[in-house]
Amino acid sequence: MDKSFEDKGYFRRQYPRRAMKRKIGVLCDGSYFVCESGEIGEGGMSIISDYVLTEGHSLVVSFQVPAGNFVFLRAVVRSTQKKQGDEKVTHGLSFNEIEFSIKRQIRSFVSARTDFAPGTTSTF
């Protein structure tokens, strides 16, 4: 079998995501650090870190949902991607057992209209 093409078809997103640039607290194996988020959806999020996390590892992330609550969510590292020449690592996380109310806040953020200037509020 030709291994030059790696099919990651087993990992398909179930929910849409939206870019979210915020500080995220991460607790992994007893160590706590702060990093940036990349995207978020009801099923998970991406984080951009200085550290390489192992796929399959469990962790806890803490962050403020835009226009929502400050949350603590259990997650699993699903993917790790480090671009050559870049010191940052992008991790794909999937959430475990997320409360319906938090899921709804994330869904609201992801589906919100973004046709107004950043830093302003919508008149809708």
Q: Give a yes or no: residue 117 inside a domain.
A: no
Q: Give a yes or no: residue 11 inside a domain.
A: no
37-77: per-residue pLDDT in tens? Answer: 999 999 999 999 998 999 999 999 999 999 999 999 999 99
Number of structural domains in the chain? 1
6-24: per-residue pLDDT in tens? Answer: 344 445 567 888 999 999 9
- Residue 69 CB partners (closer than 8 Å, separation 6+): 101, 102, 105
Q: Give a yes or no: residue 90 inside a domain.
A: yes
Domain that holds residue 98: 20-108
Instruction: Tell me which amino acid residue 121 is.
Output: T
CATH code: domain of residue 34? 2.40.10.220
pTM: 0.78
Q: Give a yes or no: residue 26 inside a domain.
A: yes
Q: Give a yes or no: residue 25 inside a domain.
A: yes
Closest CA to 28 of 53, 64, 55, 62: 53
